[in-house]
Structure 1
């Protein structure tokens, strides 16, 4: 089931009049508990409570006791929509600065720090208003100087350290057009610590260490200049919204405004929008709502309530005819057709838009899925949407086959739209879409992230009072008629539209935010404010870790010689059935091609289209996924449809027909996708890294040549598929049936041979030794440069797990509170993204790999490499980071709950490592005793002053080859040797 962009897949909420009447069972009700009155919806499966505190603060609570964790979101109705036109990107700036602390947290001496910060504020205002380049440079030098002095009194990332110490994971935030949301995932015993810190955070935020954080935002902006999908997005929105801020103000802001920030304007923005009546606290997880609401009220009663200026756009004029935009970049060509739609305030439109979108493309049985993708008339395509309050955007997208023009793809997509408007689809499709949505909603109940995101979206779009309709909508969607869908499509897809052609070639408009001169600032990594100590001393009720017991947590049996693993689902009627084959691409290069052919195959009983439709009717999802050493076939859905779904998939695999026309068309598309991969910077980076790990012949280029693909016949793939079940495989079932019930059913439905065939011989790839420094350079037209360090080390040792986990968390994989991020981003402002970690292998007979990464501007290449090399060669000592790392690891293990068939897959992975038990226990028991000297010895033995292969992805127009040569012999990689074809 496809999800809409920006976490808005399950919107569709509001008053459902004109379409249906809300069932009485979903009525609003009111209750009082522990002195607080709340509203709730009867029969809400999320048991959501809506509170409004005296100061207007919205609190939304959704209990879920499945694991001892809580997803928390603090949502603010403030995004790029409400940025001042003279200071775009301001809401996003502010998001970054809300992690910098207050006068009580993040400061060594506020009395000494404040005058320096005031001076920096004044300098930025002067800088903002100055146009003379020489005077601006002089002012910036003074900003850099004073910032260095101020940083001596700052404690960088003390907020992040405090969250990490209480066991939070995923500390983050995001800003979009209508929202800024602050995200945490905390242990259920850390509520008091969390609320104390958040209350302080919003009491008096201080914008310290600003100029290095500003440089991180510069880097983030430069990243967007290298992302062709982002260019398509901006062109689409600017075309659809020539007046509205949706299209006229990007979230990250303009380069000109990024160069001229105003701390005064940022502070004014905070005071204007960060008020109680414009914010919501959202909890989803393991807590007592009667206790939590009282604690939130006590902590956040100080937030003011005052009028919030509302963005009131001038209504957009109707789009007329076709508006064409073009964007350029190195990645593959594509086309997007954008239609402006009513916003989320319009219920009837919102619901009907969802149905139109799914009828067009649902990844299985939509018009584009069947008529274009399965018919192989284009390289690939689909539909999706952006959902906003004032307007929405529905878009169709596609990529061309070899020799096909973007205009031809556009016309084919528009033809599917015509079919929608003419009602050329079956009535049952609407019912099947609703059934799939219901299953997806059931899955989302298990996930605190999905619960919290859905509730946050309801708040941001001022729809909290309409939660009853949101809860009722799945029942109500089934009442929509085909004619209503057709009428909506005729009305809203017949006006003008915006076509964005993504052309392949040089982007001559590309520019970048220039690098200012920044002197590294002090980060005082081991300093602690009194409030930090106070919060970390607040008592925590113990949470006992739950260890997996591979002897008790699942049952083992046999089904006609196949190993069978069984776990019962005691919560609902969902099932997952997996078949895991002990062969993958290292055994047979044809497997990935066979998997793709299977998506297009027919049998005597079903055409390819009929198969997709029948499977979609049963809300069954299936995936056939060849990996390097294992191939997995997985079905999932509701238990009542398991028999029908399995019968369909078995019919397809066992009886698929060889069709040379289908294969020839697929062959052409495969060759085109391989060509397109060579223009994808993420694919190129992955290829270079794999080359560095394994050498010239490696898992990445373990593929067929073009000539070998051209020589293949459809029969070669069909024979492989028909023979699949004759090879040894394991069967894993997670579902509501008892073992006694499900085993006979599977024995009957899944025919197996008297004995299994031997698997093809497997190619094994061994990691190479980096015995001398080397640079692998891949040329790519981009603004930034991406650099990876690769070094393979010793063989796998399970006893190393505690040290390795603590080291990674301490050194470079512990979020903002680790040495690499603190040094390279926070102190030296060299990157937006950087990390480093000592990666364990998946098998006992393989080696570890030390990996490091930084994405930076090309003109910072030398500084970035030297900065990372310093950390790789000399491990700084930080007792605070070490304590945080150990605490985070223990808290994470205490609240981790492995459930369902994940337990079985954990056991199978452990077997490959030669382990027969839950090896998290070893880390949990030993982590606390690991000292800095242990990490230093580990670092010296495996990382420090060793030879690394440096993988550099960047533009030869921006990088100097002599700079690369300083770090080893340079080998410029060709795409052919990287990709193997």
Structure 2
């Protein structure tokens, strides 16, 4: 189970819908858990420190510990522009690796939505040496498949299409016989590696796994080969997999449909409005040449940052990085996203009538992660929706019993660029969406009119400190956070500096940001109305 799933499971358990309850509650549990996992996973962001709940000793300073961690971080950059961040910690003979490609759904060309996610799938298919029995024999077959696919698309003669499809199927079967499926995964597993996976978001594509510490050079070899000499084999087989993924996550999912429609309404011009998985039409239209061109453009060395966290010698890591990743040739920087979303001037609404329980969503535009007020937005999210002590849970779920679940996400659908603070809730049986919306609005308005108490503010500051400490215990978590802050804010040290900024938050800051953000003209509303 991934971190988002664990977070959602904890949250769903917090309102009492455990699997041991009645059939109705079991059904609610499944519906809420599945939908919340879907919403959270699409945000594609790391869990911020303020979103963690962990006990902490009041008055205890964690700064000395943080200072020691900072001193254990080494960074270096190769002449081709590739950057490495190494955190040395010798608690266990394990090292976690994360390759962060600074390219996601927001960077895709018009008409090619989903290409970044497609590339992520194909990055596991191997190279000219890994994943093949005989690449010299396989290569012409892969090229022949591309030609046959284009001929099938362009033909209007059913008999000819049938003949071409038969030939395509024959050639594809030959190519698959020459391929060695999942060879990369087998190599990693046989060497003791775990957690081989990747994810694509609006902002970035991340590739990660862990190895025993004596396999540092093997990781250098495998990961450098993967992006130096990729072969995008099994392209057409993978297209069917991705289309099925879209069908399950969006077309057959009420909340999936709503999220896609909601984001498309909230953003008018910024590429955040497009689905990361891509539209069905665009996925069907993508070619292997499209993926290759996207890779050559956006996977430049300057766009790749690697984190190595665990039982590792930084000097040895740098020596091996020069040998393996130093082979990459420097490339021009790819095009940047320059589109600026205009300020919203009126309330927007999306209403979908679907075979679903009623859901309510409400989103507000907010600045990017790098903005000085980011910690204030995180504080607001914590006050409103961080667990059982949050205002939304106490008010909407416990006291008024309007909702079975009520939660918020900061930085949706990404946080590299200005984004949304999103709130969503699943109504209790027999309660109306209008009553739920009004109750949510009441809690939001309180932030503007009533100063947050010193007790509430101290609570979220304690949670922030504890959350960062909790992240420090995970090699994978630290790799993720170091890279997110380094790429999106310009310096991984900002991860640790945020505690000073959090400590400086005042009730006046909460009110100032709430008044500027939570206005009717900045609001987008989404409703899923059940079919009669």
1:135, 1:57 → 2: CA distance?
49
- Secondary structure at the aligned position of 1:189 is classed as helix
| Distance in 1 (alpha carbons) for counterparts of 2:168 and 2:110 | 25
Alignment partner for residue 232 of structure 1, among 243, 247, 258?
A: 258
Q: 1:98 aligns with which of 123, 127, 131?
A: 123
Indicate which of 288, 299, 310 corresponds to 1:263: 288
After superposition, what is the alpha-carbon deviation per residue over 1:730-751, rounded to whole angstroms, capped at 9, x for unaligned? xxxxxxxxxxxxxxxxxxxxxx
1:913-961 per-position Cα deviation (integer Å, ceiling 9, x unaligned): xxxxxxxxxxxxxxxxxxxxxxxxxxxxxxxxxxxxxxxxxxxxxxxxx
1:458 aligns with 2:493: no
Aligned length: 477
Q: What is the Cα deviation at residue 335 of structure 1? A: 0.2
Q: 1:132 to 1:367 in 2, by over 3 A?
A: farther
Note if 1:498 corresponds to 2:524.
yes
The residue correspondences of 1:462-473 to structure 2 (distance < 5 A) are: 463-465=489-491, 467-473=492-498
| Counterparts in 2 of 1:295 and 1:220: CA distance versus 1, 3 Å | same
Q: 2: distance between equivalents of 1:270 and 1:185?
A: 25
1:9 aligns with 2:34: no
| Alignment correspondent of 1:369 | 393
- Equivalent residues of 2:45, 2:415 under 8 A apart: no
Q: How has the CA–CA distance of structure 1 residues 311 and 142 changed in structure 2, closer, same or farther, with 3 Å as cutoff?
A: farther
Alignment pair present for 1:443 and 2:443: no
Residues 77, 485 of structure 1: CA spacing in aligned structure 2 closer, same or farther, 3 A cutoff?
A: same
The 2-side partners of 1:69 and 1:500 are apart by 45
1:427 aligns with 2:454: yes
Given that 2:49 and 2:464 are in contact with CA atoms closer than 8 Å, whether structure 1 keeps it comes out as no
1:52-63 matches, within 5 Å, as 52-63=77-88
Q: Secondary structure at the match of 1:219?
A: helix
Matched, 1:75 2:113: no
CA distance in 1, matches of 2:419, 2:139: 45
Question: Which whole-Å CA distance do the structure 1 matches of 2:379 and 2:476 have between them?
Answer: 24
Query: Which whole-Å CA distance do the structure 2 matches of 1:342 and 1:176 have between them?
Result: 18
2:302 to 277, 299, 302: 277
How far 1:148 sits from its partner (Å)? 1.4
C-alpha displacement of 1:303:
1.4
Q: Is the 8 A contact 1:335 1:502 kept in 2?
A: yes
- Return 5+ residue gaps in structure 1 as ranges: 13-24, 27-40, 507-981
- Shift, 1:111, TM fit: 1.8
Aligned pairs for 1:152-301 (under 5 A) are 152-224=177-249, 225-247=251-273, 249-301=274-326
The residue aligned with 2:429 is 402
Q: Kindly report which structure 2 residues correspond to 1:492-571, keeping only aligned pairs within 5 A, or say none.
A: 492-494=517-519, 495-505=521-531
Between the aligned partners of 1:442 and 1:154, the Cα distance in structure 2 is 45
- Matched with 1:894 is none
Q: Displacement of 1:290 after TM fit?
A: 1.6
Question: Does the aligned pair in 2 maintain the 1:127–1:139 contact within 8 Å?
Answer: yes
Cα deviation digits, residues 455-493 of structure 1 (max 9, x gap): 2322442x242x333212113311111111101110111
Task: State the 1:271 CA deviation.
Answer: 0.7
Pairing 1:593-742 to 2, within 5 Å after superposition:
none
Output the CA distance in 1 between the equivalents of 2:448 and 2:166: 62
Report if the CA contact (8 A) 1:2-1:363 is conserved: no
Structure 1 residues 264 and 47: CA distance shift in structure 2, 3 A? same
Shift in Å, 1:78: 1.5
Match runs of 1:79-158 below 5 Å: 79-129=104-154, 136-158=161-183
SS in 2 for 1:355: helix
Q: Secondary structure at the match of 2:178?
A: coil
Distance of 1:457 and 1:191 partners within structure 2: 23
Q: Distance in 2 between matches of 1:60 and 1:120?
A: 41
Q: Which stretch of the first structure deviates more once superposed, 223-232 or 197-206?
A: 223-232
Pair member with larger Rg: 1
Indicate if the aligned counterparts of 1:46 and 1:63 stay in contact, CA closer than 8 A. no
Q: 2:74 corresponds to which residue?
A: 49
Does the residue aligned with 2:214 lie in a helix, a strand or coil? coil
| 2:378 is the alignment partner of 1:354 | yes
Q: Label 1:478 to 1:215 Cα distance change in 2 as closer, same or farther (>3 A).
A: same
Aligned-residue offset at 1:104: 1.3
- RMSD, aligned CA: 2.5
Question: How many Å apart are 1:364 and its aligned residue?
Answer: 3.2
Does structure 1 conserve the Cα–Cα contact (< 8 Å) formed by 2:358 and 2:529?
A: yes
Aligned residue number for residue 558 of structure 1: none
Using the size of structure 1 for normalisation, the TM-score is: 0.46
Query: Paired residue for 2:27?
Result: none
Per the alignment, residue 891 of structure 1 pairs with none
Change (3 A) 1:372 1:98: same
1:480 aligned residue: 505
With over 3 angstroms needed to count, the CA separation of the structure-2 counterparts of 1:8 and 1:130, relative to structure 1, is farther
Residue aligning to 2:402: 378
Counterpart for residue 18 of structure 2: none
Matched residues in 2 for 1:169 and 1:484: separation? 44
**Contiguous gaps of at least 5 residues in structure 2:** 1-5, 9-39, 51-62
Compared CA separation, residues 269 and 105, structure 1 to 2 (3 A)? same
Aligned residue for 1:152, secondary structure, equals helix
User: CA–CA distance in 2 between the matches of 1:92 and 1:131?
Assistant: 30
Deviations 1:352-396 (A, max 9, x none): 111111121221333223332331341231322224111121122
Q: Secondary structure at the match of 2:139?
A: helix
Q: Which of 439, 460, 467 lines up with 1:412 in the alignment?
A: 439
* TM-score (norm. length: structure 2): 0.84
2:370 aligned to which of 323, 336, 345: 345
Q: Displacement of 1:445 after TM fit?
A: 1.3
Where relative contact order (Cα < 8 A, 6+ residues apart) is larger, the structure is 2
Q: CA deviation at 1:328?
A: 4.3
Contact 1:125 1:263 in 2 (8 A): no
Contact kept, 8 Å, 1:2 with 1:362, in 2: the verdict is no
Aligned to 2:30: none
Match for residue 17 of structure 2? none
Instruction: Find the residue that maps to 2:495 and give its secondary structure.
Output: helix
